[in-house]
Amino acid sequence: MPDGLLVANAGGAYSPTVAEHALTMMLALIRRLPDAAIAHARQEWDRSIQRDMGSLEGRTVTMLGFGSIGVETARRLKPFGARVIAATRSASPHPLADEVVPIGDLASVLPRTDVLYACLPLGDATRGLIGRTVLDALPDHALVINVARGAVVDKTALLAALLEGRIGGAGLDVTDPEPLPADDPLWRAPNLIITPHVAGNGSAAVDQRLAAVTVDNVNRLAAGAPLTHLVTPRIMD
């Protein structure tokens, strides 16, 4: 980064909408809506989907990362009666997390995880984090949701887990690469919802939050005060 150049991001402006999108994916998969949509397209009244239907009530959602997106998601999960485990670098307690563990101890909570939810930055330590070892440690009904960056998930390992029925399903708003090529086999995987990196869109409130962050930082810059939501070179890498 050139000397003297300051870069700030949007802070938590998109977080509520991303959280809503993630929760929608969880509910759609756990209530078997993709199967219902297939039956709808065939004009079939197929009640067999009820065998595999579940509920967020009493389920455990393990979050990889617990920044503003994770917090907003936890806030929305609580009314459903879900239990939240946050796996973070600092393992700092949070009132919206029922349990917090260091990310290095993730393996200890995977066997009791019903939804594994990625909402953390991409870096050397998180690239391919959700791979064969992590997926194999999950219960076979578990869901994987990724609204972080596509490369957090090992795509080959996820595809194999879905095809072999070793997990219950997945919801991806991000893929590696983006856009996902039309001939990529991931498109044809069962129990998978893919959306084209749109989780943050669709709310007028986002624009209001973005404007507020921008105005605040412009005022801070004019006053010689520290800017908020600064992006460090390490994060940008």
pLDDT in tens, 40-69: 999 999 999 999 999 999 999 999 999 999
- Residue 107 predicted with pLDDT over 80: yes
Q: Which residue has the tokens 């990196």?
A: 197
Whether residue 149 lies in the annotated active site:
yes
Whether residue 229 lies in the annotated active site:
no
Q: How many CB atoms lie within 10 A of CB 165?
A: 11
Residue 235: pLDDT band (50, 70, 90) is very low
Residue 5: pLDDT band (50, 70, 90) is confident
- Residue 105 predicted with pLDDT over 60: yes
Task: Calculate the average pLDDT of the chain.
Answer: 95
Set 40, 44, 164, 178: catalytic member? 178
Tokens representing residue 133 in the block:
């070892």
Residue 4 is predicted with a pLDDT of: 74
Specify the CATH architecture of the domain 15-194: 3-Layer(aba) Sandwich (3.40)
- Residue 7 predicted with pLDDT over 80: yes
Q: To 5 degrees, how large is the angle CA 119–CA 124–CA 128?
A: 60
Residue 231: pLDDT band (50, 70, 90) is confident
Residue 1 is predicted with a pLDDT of: 58
Whether residue 197 lies in the annotated active site:
yes
Please name the amino acid found at residue 119: C
Set 31, 197, 220, 229: catalytic member? 197
Model-level pTM?
Answer: 0.93
Q: Decide: 26 and 56 in contact? Cβ < 8 Å.
A: yes
pLDDT digits 0-9 by tens, 118-148: 999 999 999 999 999 999 999 999 999 999 9
Q: From 237, 153, 217, select the one nearest 8 (Cα to Cα).
A: 217
Going through the chain in order, the beta strands assigned E by DSSP cover: 60-64, 83-88, 99-102, 115-118, 143-146, 169-172, 192-194
Set 21, 59, 83, 149: catalytic member? 149
For 123, which DSSP code? S
N- to C-terminal Cα distance for the chain? 10
Residue 53 is predicted with a pLDDT of: 96
- Residue 236 predicted with pLDDT over 70: no
Residue count of the chain: 237
